[in-house]
Structure 1
Amino acid sequence: MNFKTLLAYAAGPVGGAAASFAALPLLSRHFSSADMGRLLLMQTAAALALIVLGLGLDQSYIREFHHYRGREGVLLKHTAAPPLLLAAAAFAALMCFAPERPSETVFSLADARLSLLCLLFAAALLLTRCLSLVLRMNGRAWAFSLSQLLPKLLVLAAAAFCLTGWLPADTFTLLTVFAAAQAAALPLLLWQTRRDCAAAWRARWSAAELRPALAYGLPLAAGALVYWAFSSADRWLLRDLAAPEELGVYALAAGFAAAAGMLQNVFATVWAPTVFKWAADGGGADKVARAAALLCAAVLALSCLAGLLSPLADLILPPQYAAVRFVLVSSVLVPLLYTLTEATGIGINVRRKSGLVPSVSLAALAAALPLLYALIPPYGARGAAAAAAAAFWIFCVLKSELSARLWQPLPRRTFYPATLATLAAAVSHTLFGNAQNYPLFAVLWTAGLLWAAWLVRDDLGRLKARFGRR
């Protein structure tokens, strides 16, 4: 993958993160913290629907695409039709026989209108996933990025419009904005993939084509379900164990922290294919170790920057979100540690042992639950963020150790102390930080930045020498 292609694929995640980053302060000034918390719950529930209804067939589409050259329509029909038909049947049944159930389950509010919005958002997300994969696998990088970016831009436009005061400030309006933005991207996607959709429509149905796709996809869906339970337990327990306002604070912090997730999106696009190529050539362990070391330093540096810059949250958010600056410090560790795990745990995929990953997620979930139950009642959103960061560190260590034993052991003398020290500093800042002791934490984060620079001192020296020659 050349630089231009990488740039095209990165445009969507980077632009989407920037749009979301800009939209959150605007939304927080119009909607209550309870409404923002309900938005987070809708997005989390939609992610669950995507896993359950998708049946893992999206992964089958990715795996088999290059084996169906000239028959892509057949593959698309057998991997897209079952999830879409299942979703249509499930959503119709819910609205006919239990219209208030989705809202009651997700928000603890019996409201059929909110149920309808949840289902529309999930349906639009599912269809967007199916169609955007067609663009991704056909190498249409800019079209793929646009499909990821458009909903975020529409939300940003709606958030700016909210400041006029012409829209009601309630849960229904907020969820409508996000459901409508997600659905509004579909006409463009349908137009971009019209030939692929037409080929799928004309293709003949065959159960023989579906069986191997399900055989491959269902175990992956089960693994994704376990990971979803692990990664979303903090939101549901915060809903049940703390005030609604705490979930709103957590939603804002998670939204800002998601900007760090763009690193994971870009990294994942190029990392796995590159490592698989190295492994096929009979090597790559040294390169993986070096990349993991650089990424570890990047995680340390970005975490320190988040801690240093956290007071800026007070400048862009209303007073009721004063705790966001502290929650954010731990929240940003979650996507950063997950990105690091993509590098240090790659040996599991190289050895084709991905079936072991759900056991890692289960172990991390078992560690997360006691932490969440212990920290949420006294600390609210702060406790949820601290527990989630600690659980993801455990997930990172377990997956890294499993990878080291299955494939090649990576140098871990620096990796574990650096990430553990970062976790300890972030959790301390989140749980015990305040405006008065911020200078102490600022010194700590500055020292962390210097440590990160020391870890990559050789690379910085080579970079300086290269620019010096120019």
Structure 2
Amino acid sequence: MNNFLKKLVGFSIGPFAGALISLITIPLTTYFIIPTEYGKASMFTLFQTILATLIFLGVDQAYSREYHSSKNKLNLLQNAILVPFLLAITIFIICIVIPQFVSLVLFDSKAYKLPAILFGLMTVLIVMERFIMVSIRMQEKALEYSVINILVKLTVLISTFVFVAFIRRDFLAVVYSAIIGQLIADTYLLIRYRRLFNLKEFFFDKPLVSKMIKFAIPIVIATSLASLLHSLDRIALRAWSDFYQIGIFTAALKIAAILSIIQTSFTSFWVPMAYRWHDEGKNIKYFKIVSDSVLLLMSIVFVGVLIFKDLLVTFLSADYIDTKYIIGFLCMQPIIYTVSETTQLGIVFSRKSILNIWVSVVSIIPNVLIIYFMVPKYGALGASLATAVSYIFFFTARTYFSNKCGMKFSVVKHYIIMFILFIAAIFNSFDWSNVVLANTLLLIIVVVIQVSTIKSIRSLIKERNLSSRSTDLKELS
């Protein structure tokens, strides 16, 4: 347990520091840039996310799956990165040859050729960064992983400050600061970890690549659908609403993304540790304790956000006040995703990655329906509601298929808590005077329901302490 907590803390340092940096970056951006311009900038980020999902081809996840069973880990990395890197280079060449077209797609104008070319270069570096970070994570180098995360966030913050303070205050300020900050951080990574790309002993392992691609193809389809799930809200707002609603929605997403520090730090150390526990034949009760503990933590954090949502919104300018009505719905995404990482392990352990396709399908259907009926009338509120509902379906599908693959433990408590959180998000989408009191009572209810989890955690800690003392006594004798 001590080793478990040590690695969790190590992996959490970077995300938590990154969150603090984001707390500076978000108001710095929203104070100088109006929601309409911020909405335009978010479309650039959206295209980058979609493109990254496609060019990785799910091979990054296949690399994680094969890591512990591979003896030559350097060659494994180089074989895994090969196809995504070639695709990224192809996109870079397209950006150089026809920058006007790329600019038109990204910004609805042919005038921004330099940002279009930098977009292509950024795509190449993102591929390199991704595999470097996965390699560090799989080695469970918690502190090193955190320091690099801080570096990336810090360079973006500095770039953002320089642009909005001295150069320009439109959507291109966000675009340029993101590109330049990423380029600086990734250039450092490539120099520091250049040994990972030393091809002196490289050999193309066709069976290995085929095995990874076979594992990754269903993930590609699933992640493409998941990317569509993440993107439909802003695409719908672009089609049926305006850039103001996109700006409000994106600003609320940025606040909700602060919760992703827990998601990122937990997932970063949990994935390699879960694989190791599985290989060691760890009893399923330990997986359940982790799942219940994460549910407890995330539900408390969620209610905490609702209690202090007015304070969080003050970090933005007065132009973004409407974000407080949708923040509850959008916070459900990182909350539910993090918990689902503990209940979907049967899928990855069984290598039945094709089931992820069905998870995405189950999630996207309610998303499309709610968006179609709600976004034209309610704008960002309708889009955020669609996001919350779709992630409840996402959790349900992930857990169901994992159970079918043999990783089965009770999740009744999970569903009860998620239902309560969803009702709370609905209440907080209205402006009423007693909302803080209601949220405080909600916090008490959430904790009371999970008293059994608190008792289980205490029992496990006592058990570990007794075991540690017994070991010490044996050594002394």
Do the aligned partners of 1:134 and 1:193 also contact (CA within 8 Å) in 2? no
Do the aligned partners of 1:357 and 1:399 also contact (CA within 8 Å) in 2? yes
Alignment CA distance shift 1:365-1:123 (3 Å): same
Establish whether residue 43 from structure 1 lines up as the match of residue 45 from structure 2.
yes
Aligned AA (1:35): E
Establish whether residue 445 from structure 1 lines up as the match of residue 444 from structure 2.
no
1:260-279 matched pairs, under 5 angstroms:
260-276=259-275, 279=278
Alignment CA distance shift 1:276-1:75 (3 Å): closer
The CA deviation at 1:384 is: 0.9
Distance 1:277 1:78 in 2: 23
1:150-189 matched pairs, under 5 angstroms:
150-162=151-163, 165-189=165-189
Aligned to 1:371: 370
Superimposed CA distance per residue, residues 34-71 of structure 1 (whole angstroms, 9 cap, x where no aligned partner)? 332233322232222222222333233333344553x4
Distance 1:461 1:453 in 2: 12
Alignment CA distance shift 1:210-1:285 (3 Å): closer
The CA deviation at 1:464 is: 9.1
Alignment CA distance shift 1:23-1:72 (3 Å): same
Do the aligned partners of 2:38 and 2:247 also contact (CA within 8 Å) in 1? yes
Aligned positions, number? 458
Do the aligned partners of 2:252 and 2:330 also contact (CA within 8 Å) in 1? yes
Distance 2:181 2:103 in 1: 20
Do the aligned partners of 1:73 and 1:201 also contact (CA within 8 Å) in 2? no
The CA deviation at 1:11 is: 2.1
Aligned to 2:148: 147
Do the aligned partners of 2:234 and 2:246 also contact (CA within 8 Å) in 1? yes
SS at match of 1:361: helix
SS at match of 1:410: coil
Alignment CA distance shift 1:77-1:315 (3 Å): closer
Superimposed CA distance per residue, residues 171-228 of structure 1 (whole angstroms, 9 cap, x where no aligned partner)? 2222010000001012321222122222x25524465554333333333222221221
SS at match of 1:100: helix
Alignment CA distance shift 1:9-1:319 (3 Å): same
SS at match of 1:407: coil
User: Which one is further off, 361-370 or 28-37?
Assistant: 28-37
SS at match of 1:251: helix
Superimposed CA distance per residue, residues 4-46 of structure 1 (whole angstroms, 9 cap, x where no aligned partner)? 4443322222222221122100111112223322333222322
Aligned to 1:457: 451
Establish whether residue 242 from structure 1 lines up as the match of residue 265 from structure 2.
no
The CA deviation at 1:321 is: 0.4
Do the aligned partners of 2:59 and 2:81 also contact (CA within 8 Å) in 1? yes
Establish whether residue 17 from structure 1 lines up as the match of residue 11 from structure 2.
no
The CA deviation at 1:326 is: 1.6
Aligned AA (1:59): Q
SS at match of 1:353: coil
Aligned AA (2:221): A
Q: List runs of 5+ in structure 1 lacking aligned partners.
A: none
Aligned to 2:291: 292
Aligned AA (2:160): A
From 53, 75, 85, the equivalent of 2:55 is: 53
SS at match of 2:169: coil
Do the aligned partners of 1:9 and 1:141 also contact (CA within 8 Å) in 2? yes
1:64-83 matched pairs, under 5 angstroms:
64-69=66-71, 71-83=72-84
Do the aligned partners of 2:62 and 2:216 also contact (CA within 8 Å) in 1? yes
Aligned AA (1:447): L
Aligned to 1:195: 195
Distance 2:317 2:196 in 1: 47
Aligned to 2:467: none
SS at match of 2:410: coil
Aligned to 1:125: 126
Q: Indicate the RMSD between aligned Cα atoms, in angstroms.
A: 2.8
Q: List runs of 5+ in structure 2 lacking aligned partners.
A: 463-477
Alignment CA distance shift 1:273-1:139 (3 Å): closer
The CA deviation at 1:392 is: 0.6
Distance 2:67 2:11 in 1: 19
Aligned to 1:321: 320
Aligned to 2:466: none
TM-score by length of 1: 0.88
Instruction: State, as a whole percentage, how many aligned pairs show the same letter.
Output: 21
Distance 2:69 2:420 in 1: 46
The CA deviation at 1:259 is: 1.2
Aligned AA (2:178): F
Do the aligned partners of 1:103 and 1:118 also contact (CA within 8 Å) in 2? no
Aligned to 1:348: 347
